[in-house]
A and B are shown apart, each in its own frame.
Chain A
Amino acid sequence: MALVQQIQPQRDPGARSGFARRVTGSPALQLVGRRLLTAIPVLLGVTFLTFVVMNLIPGNPAQLILGINASPQAVAKLDAQLGLNHPFWDRYWIWLDGLLHGNLGIAYSNQQSVNSIIAQYLPITCWLLLYALVGALVLGILVAVLAARKPNGIFDRLSLAVSMIGLSFAPYALALCAGWLFAVKLGWFHIIDNSLGNDPFTAIKNLTLPALSIGFGLFAVYSRLLRADIIEQMEREDYIVTAKAKGVSPWRVLVVHATKNSLFTLITLVALNLGTLIGAVAIIEPIFSLPGIGAELINAININDLPLVEGIVVVFALVTVAGNLLADLLYTVLDPRIRYGRSAS
């Protein structure tokens, strides 16, 4: 989705306290530690907000579970059983406590533990996301490098046009249009077949259209960003001129020097946008009837199954925060200036 490109890595210079310097030697660890510390209030905020929002949804869960014809006593009994008659903060604390121990509660609809439900539907989502991500990255890098070779050349303009379409195509619209084109018109895939099957080939075949729907937008963002970054390196950076002055072949300059340095930004972007990636499954999976987390979330919302919705949403949000942390971590690990620190002589 177009949102993805706006989230740029924000470098935080920050000060280092003497204590931190004594405790941790490596500057990379310092940075990571600081980031973890700032992430904690965000994580708490995330859990709190989820809980608040979910509890504002009108309707009595006990009533929903038991149905309209249930007697008030039965409802009250279930209320007490589920702990719904406790004050807000108590309930939040109980839930948070459970969360910290890895227990996301019990779903209203089928009394299964939320953990197990998530575990059940997670694999397909993971495969789907992996497929989309890897496809988008590989193609994105390839296209970006080829385009950067001759900026404003034919391939470059073509790739920009395709990227523009990818950026602007609503994923659900793309899913349906691609579905129509490839499944209905060309018959290459089946929209209805939605399992992973017994062998990798079926899995890949069935996941291709959904992965395309998510991946096309990603590909557009990645290739555009990488291309712009590479071109900027090639045109603005002095070390590129030095490399050329050495007599190194243009491909080597492009790939070994410019692209390598641009990949940092790309990888950080990927990690930062983990959240958006996840959000996309909420709409793509229902279209293709894939039994994944996203579809399950929509189901849960439709039947007002609060614990399930809370559980899934919290997991989504936590993954996003983890993605941000990962992005910072990667940035420090990959940039030798930070990894090796300064040792001027």
Chain B
Amino acid sequence: MSPTIQAEGALLEVEDLRVAFAVGGREIRAVDGISYAVEPGRTLAIIGESGSGKTVGCRAIMGLLPTGTQISGSARLRGTELIGLSDAQLRKHRGSDMAMVFQDPARSLNPTMKVGKQITEAIQAHRKVSKSEARERATELLRLVRIPAPERRFHEYPHQLSGGMRQRVVIAIALACEPRLLIADEATTALDVTTQAQIMELLLELQQELGMALIFISHDLGLAASYADEVVVMYAGKVVEQAPANQLFGTGGTVKMRYTRALLDAIPHLERPAHTELPVVTGRPPDPTALPPGCNFAPRCPAAADDCTAKAPALTEHAPGHRWACWHPCENGGAA
């Protein structure tokens, strides 16, 4: 398939983003130079394990990292450079152009504030509307996220709602000002499997209805396979593989990165014979304060060779639309 060049520019362009913290006298490089882009109306999945920097990268774009964090690089939302903006300037975009949905709805909502109030607060932060107008809009939003009896729910507290409903409320809050970009950070991880599917479906429906771009962050490759247009795989703060979803998964898909391959292999499949040992990746992600000189994954990689530990491979577009950073990628990485 030849790639068609979109007429519009990308909605979000991230270029060489780096984020570092100083904790207890040591420097942690959470994000070590990542680049990607998202088109309007498209879904990008950022996949990685804990500590890969996937969340930190997106929070850096939103400006939600604690003060004292060093951020460099570029992130342009519809052409506006976000990195380096003051908090007051970023706030204009935060919640209005771009919004975020978080992992644990039980903790993401203020337990002592009524649900409706939390939505109207989001509205009134950006629009000059009266209290009753805000209330109407909030109720409308509750309906939009498929919460039954929205007028009643408006006056309830978060703990009076179930987990799935709470997450819908968080989505409603995010949608309050019709953002162009919605970032879902492990939005379904804290939910049970059925609710997970419901919420993902809801997000995709809303994306269609409202024409938003959606970035969803997860450690679950299965989700990426099912729902994403484009996938970015991160490891230890760097992007290691990047491709459209159909090039990675499914029949004819080719996974090149050892790491991505390992992640895919680790997903349990019903078709395998019973009691087959799950091929788990041994070891742990590198200590962010002491990154190895060569490829970050080399210590755990089954195909590691001398050049892997000597020099870090660059993220290169070896095939059209498909980038990876590996000296010895998988040859025939057919997806399961």
The reply, when asked whether chain A contacts chain B directly with Cβ atoms under 8 A, is yes
User: Of all chain B residues, which has the CB nearest A236?
Assistant: B107
Residues of chain A contacted by B92 (CB below 8 angstroms): 247
Q: Which segment of A53-61, A71-79, A189-197, A237-245 sits at the interface?
A: A237-245
Residues of chain B contacted by A260 (CB below 8 angstroms): 112
Q: Would A242 and B173 be within 8 Å (CB), given that A247-B96, A344-B162, A345-B161 are in contact?
A: yes
Provide the A318-334 mask, 1 if CB < 8 A to any CB of B, else 0. Answer: 00000000000000000
Bound state CA distance, A303 and B125, in angstroms?
67
Q: Would A241 and B108 be within 8 Å (CB), given that A246-B94, A246-B121, A247-B96 are in contact?
A: yes
Q: Is B77 an interface residue (CB 8 A)?
A: no
- CB B155 to nearest CB in A, in angstroms, measures 11
User: Of all chain A residues, which has the CB nearest B117?
Assistant: A256
User: Of all chain A residues, which has the CB nearest B96?
Assistant: A247
Q: Is B91 an interface residue (CB 8 A)?
A: yes
Q: Is B104 an interface residue (CB 8 A)?
A: yes
User: Of all chain B residues, which has the CB nearest A235?
Assistant: B66
Bound state CA distance, A335 and B113, in angstroms?
10
In the complex, chain B residues 110-129 whose Cβ is within 8 Å of any chain A Cβ: 110-113, 118, 121-122, 125-126
Q: Would A257 and B108 be within 8 Å (CB), given that A238-B102, A246-B94, A340-B157 are in contact?
A: no
- CB A157 to nearest CB in B, in angstroms, measures 15
Flag if B110 contacts A243 (CB, 8 Å): yes
Q: Would A245 and B96 be within 8 Å (CB), given that A238-B108, A261-B112, A343-B160 are in contact?
A: no
Q: Would A239 and B107 be within 8 Å (CB), given that A245-B64, A246-B125, A261-B112 are in contact?
A: yes
In the complex, chain A residues 111-147 whose Cβ is within 8 Å of any chain B Cβ: none
Bound state CA distance, A335 and B110, in angstroms?
12
Residues of chain A contacted by B104 (CB below 8 angstroms): 238
Q: Is A250 an interface residue (CB 8 A)?
A: yes
Residues of chain A contacted by B161 (CB below 8 angstroms): 344-345
Q: Is B176 an interface residue (CB 8 A)?
A: yes
Most chain B beta carbons < 10 A, residue from A245, A250, A336: A245
User: Of all chain A residues, which has the CB nearest B95?
Assistant: A247
Residues of chain A contacted by B100 (CB below 8 angstroms): 245
From the candidates A246, A250, A343, name the one contacting B173 in the complex (CB within 8 A).
A246
Most chain A beta carbons < 10 A, residue from B87, B91, B109, B112: B112
Give 15 A-B pairs besides A238-B107, A246-B122 with Cβ atoms closer than 8 angstroms: A239-B109, A239-B110, A242-B102, A242-B110, A242-B170, A245-B95, A246-B95, A249-B91, A261-B112, A335-B112, A336-B157, A337-B157, A340-B160, A344-B161, A344-B162
